[in-house]
């Protein structure tokens, strides 16, 4: 059984981060509202919940209630929004960083957190590090009606990082309707059926994924009052899914080959969670522009599979033993194995919502002095045996040819 967390947030209505008011944004900026962020988590799992501004998250998520704040610069009452956060996994840490991002905009944030979550697990154990304007309430979120009630009827924005299917989103949508809130859904780029560099209009899977069904439901239920963000590979502080980058560091640390599909030149979008939070948060003040639109959510600082291999090896003073797997080979490799790559473009969100782009660069963060590699070593992850049984090494034809006996670890 899954439980969730909802986060509510209230944003200051300041011209410093909002455009000239439209009919919609003007109403939001002058209304004392609440924002909601929701996050899903599995019981008995160490997933995280999201934080947001002056709103309550509902429906299998952590709920945050926000209070209106008066902006000392423009004298507007605070804008509030709500976000729904998922149960963990690849999106698990988004809530924490989104709450912080909103609080840094002078938003008062309340996180309604699933009481089934383990307080000693990340990111729950780090809630105390959030700004004083963020409040955390621990509640039982397994009851959909309770989630809807927790979201309240005064939210101006809802951020849903929880829903995996329309049923998950139903109580949050109901709360959004009551408060006339703008609904931001954290979807998934995994729905794309296309390959290579992915724009928002690229073909998606048929039959549709659960997240795509949520997008279609929002289009029907909240016309013009919703938007969706499709994130891809995420890393950063307090993550509960380290596989994306640890895969490379684990093998470099042990002088093991890195079996990469095709020629390893495929583009990849690996995005710091703070950049994900800032991208999603850019919707505040841009509601009219975002209404009914879908945005990719990733970094504008892309690299290749080979770049990550080499950066990981250099960070540890090792040689990058990169070897080729046949394209589309199913193995332990953490990214898509096709020859074309699988990376999201973010030009649309930059031009439409004015997102300034990523502040972080994954190749710098896994350098010798990068925070990620330092954490990797501090956790002792470079020590001990490593299971490479699913690496597909037996399919690599150039191990001995390229690396001699150093490349043979079968």
Statement: residue 332 has pLDDT above 50: yes
Give the predicted TM-score (pTM) of the model. Answer: 0.81
- What is the structure's pLDDT at 199? 96
- What is the structure's pLDDT at 86? 40
- What is the structure's pLDDT at 153? 76
Q: Is 329 domain-assigned?
A: yes
Q: Is 222 domain-assigned?
A: no
Statement: residue 373 has pLDDT above 60: yes
Nearest to 235 by CA among 343, 331, 355, 94: 94
- What is the structure's pLDDT at 7? 43
Please give the Cα distance from 168 to 357 (Å, whole number): 31
The answer on 145 and 67 residing in a single domain is yes
pLDDT one-digit tens code per residue, 19-74? 333 333 322 322 333 444 444 333 333 333 333 333 333 333 433 333 333 332 23
The answer to whether residues 358 and 300 touch, using CB atoms and an 8 Å cutoff, is yes
Q: Is 7 domain-assigned?
A: yes
The answer on 263 and 148 residing in a single domain is no
CATH code assigned at 398: 3.90.25.10
- What is the structure's pLDDT at 51? 33
The answer on 138 and 72 residing in a single domain is yes
pLDDT one-digit tens code per residue, 350-368? 999 999 999 999 999 999 9
The answer on 180 and 261 residing in a single domain is no
The answer on 247 and 102 residing in a single domain is no
Domain range spanning residue 148? 2-186
The answer on 248 and 178 residing in a single domain is no
Confidence of residue 406 (pLDDT cuts 50, 70, 90): low
Statement: residue 283 has pLDDT above 70: yes
pLDDT one-digit tens code per residue, 289-329? 999 999 999 999 999 999 999 999 999 999 999 999 999 99
Q: Is 339 domain-assigned?
A: yes
Which residues is 226 bridged to in the sheet?
Answer: 183
Between 85 and 142, the higher pLDDT residue: 142
pLDDT one-digit tens code per residue, 165-209? 999 888 889 888 998 989 999 999 999 999 999 999 999 999 999
Nearest to 200 by CA among 336, 295, 341: 295
Strands 226-231 and 182-186 come out as parallel
Confidence of residue 158 (pLDDT cuts 50, 70, 90): confident
Q: Which of 148, 168, 186 is the last residue of a domain?
A: 186
Using alpha carbons, list the distances in angstroms from residue 21 to 156, 287, 331.
15, 10, 51
pLDDT one-digit tens code per residue, 77-126? 344 444 444 444 446 678 889 889 988 887 777 776 777 778 888 888 89
φ, ψ at 67 (rounded to 5°) = -115, 145
Please give the Cα distance from 355 to 24 (Å, whole number): 20
Q: Which of 150, 167, 186 is the last residue of a domain?
A: 186
Please give the Cα distance from 111 to 118 (Å, whole number): 15
Q: Is 169 domain-assigned?
A: yes
The structure tokens listed for 317 are 């003073």
3-state helix, strand, coil in the chain (%, to 5): 30, 20, 45
- What is the structure's pLDDT at 397? 64
Q: Is 36 domain-assigned?
A: yes
The answer on 114 and 259 residing in a single domain is no
pLDDT one-digit tens code per residue, 102-116? 888 877 777 767 777
Please give the Cα distance from 379 to 384 (Å, whole number): 12
Q: Is 98 domain-assigned?
A: yes
Which residues is 35 bridged to in the sheet?
Answer: 157
Q: Strand, helix or coil at 184?
A: strand
The answer on 8 and 156 residing in a single domain is yes
φ, ψ at 19 (rounded to 5°) = -80, 180
The answer on 255 and 372 residing in a single domain is yes
- What is the structure's pLDDT at 344? 97
Please give the Cα distance from 129 to 68 (Å, whole number): 22
Between 253 and 96, the higher pLDDT residue: 253
The answer on 154 and 56 residing in a single domain is yes
The answer on 251 and 106 residing in a single domain is no
φ, ψ at 305 (rounded to 5°) = -55, -40
Strands 34-42 and 2-11 come out as antiparallel
The answer on 170 and 312 residing in a single domain is no
Q: Total structural domains in the chain?
A: 2
The answer to whether residues 251 and 278 touch, using CB atoms and an 8 Å cutoff, is no
Q: Is 198 domain-assigned?
A: no
The answer to whether residues 49 and 5 touch, using CB atoms and an 8 Å cutoff, is yes
Q: Which of 138, 160, 186 is the last residue of a domain?
A: 186
């Amino acid at each position: 059984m899954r439980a969730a967390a909802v986060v509510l947030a209230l944003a200051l209505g300041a011209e410093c981060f909002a455009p000239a008011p439209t009919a919609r944004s003007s109403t939001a900026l002058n209304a004392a509202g609440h924002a909601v962020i929701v996050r899903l988590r599995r019981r008995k799992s160490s997933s995280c919940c999201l934080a947001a501004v002056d709103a309550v998250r509902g429906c299998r998520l952590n709920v945050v209630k926000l209070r209106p704040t008066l902006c000392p610069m423009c004298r507007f009452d605070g804008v509030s929004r709500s976000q729904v956060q998922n149960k963990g996994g690849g999106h698990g840490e988004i809530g924490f960083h989104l709450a912080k991002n909103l609080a840094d905009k002078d938003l008062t944030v309340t996180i309604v957190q699933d009481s089934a979550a383990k307080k000693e697990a990340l990111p729950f154990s780090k809630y105390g590090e959030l700004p004083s304007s963020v409040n955390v309430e621990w509640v039982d979120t397994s009851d959909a009606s309770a989630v809807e009630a927790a979201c309240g009827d005064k939210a101006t924005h809802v951020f849903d990082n929880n829903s995996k299917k329309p049923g998950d989103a139903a109580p949050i949508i109901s709360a959004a309707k009551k408060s006339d809130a703008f609904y931001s859904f954290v979807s998934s780029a995994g729905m794309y059926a296309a390959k290579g560099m992915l724009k928002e209009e690229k073909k998606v899977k048929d039959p549709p994924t659960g997240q795509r069904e949520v997008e279609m439901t929002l289009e029907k239920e909240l016309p013009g009052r919703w938007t969706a963000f499709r994130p891809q590979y995420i890393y950063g502080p307090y993550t509960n899914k380290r596989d994306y980058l640890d895969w490379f560091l684990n093998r470099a640390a042990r002088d093991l080959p890195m079996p990469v599909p095709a020629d390893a030149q495929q583009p990849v979008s690996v995005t710091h969670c703070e950049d994900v939070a800032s991208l999603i948060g850019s919707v505040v003040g841009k509601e009219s522009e975002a209404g009914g639109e879908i945005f990719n959510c990733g970094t504008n600082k892309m690299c290749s599979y080979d770049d990550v291999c080499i950066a990981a090896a250099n960070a540890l003073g090792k040689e990058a033993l990169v070897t080729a797997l046949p394209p589309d080979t199913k193995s332990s490799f953490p990214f898509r194995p096709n020859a074309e790559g699988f990376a999201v473009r973010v030009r649309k969100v930059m031009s439409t919502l004015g997102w300034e782009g990523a502040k972080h660069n994954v190749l710098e963060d896994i350098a010798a002095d990068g925070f990620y590699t330092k954490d990797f070593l501090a956790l002792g992850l470079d020590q001990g045996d490593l299971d490479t049984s699913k690496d597909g090494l037996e399919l690599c034809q150039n191990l001995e040819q390229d690396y001699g006996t150093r490349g043979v670890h079968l």
